[in-house]
A = this chain, B = another copy of it.
Amino acid sequence: MKLNTKSRYAVMALADMSKFPLDSPVSLRDISLRQSISLLYLEQIFLKLKKNEIVKSVRGSNGGYVLRKDPKNIKLSEIFQAVDQKVKTVGCKKDSKKGCNGKSAKCITHELWDELDLYINNFFENKNLSDLLMTKERKN
């Protein structure tokens, strides 16, 4: 049960952005430097964030990315979905009628993992970007 860097960086980068005036573009280069994330990797991530309409891009010199919504309204679940990093706790195909064992019924633990899935997603559903910022004394 591990969180991957793609999700972690996506949130980190967006959190970085939301500390700056929301209407002026923030360049990936700056985020890369401040947060020590590979620029090329960030580009890959932001392409997805853009496609999923979480940010919009401003090309050219002095360009960068701009948040499309107030940080208060950007839920972590949206971000995760955008970089398509889903929570996967069950062993079986989610829609299939078959179990993880190939048998026709769901296995004895299926319900448990399903519950865990919901539980975790609930966390992401109830957290937004601005929650990250209102902790006491944040710099860097």
Contacts from A to B (Cβ < 8 Å): 1-5, 7-8, 11-12, 15-16, 35-37, 85-91, 100-103, 105, 107-109, 111-113, 116, 119-120, 123, 127, 131-132, 135, 138, 140
Contact = CB atoms under 8 A, between A and B. Distances in A.
Given A3-B88, A140-B103, A119 B109 contact: no
A123 B132 contact: no
B138 A108 contact: yes
A112 B11 CA distance: 10
Contact of A11 (B11, B109, B120, B135): B109
Nearest to A140: B105
Contacts of A127: 112
A16 B100 CA distance: 15
A78 B51 CA distance: 42
Which of A4, A15, A107, A135 has the most chain B CB atoms inside 10 A of its CB?
A107
Contacts of A109: 8, 11-12, 15, 132
A18 B111 CA distance: 17
A123 B120 CA distance: 9
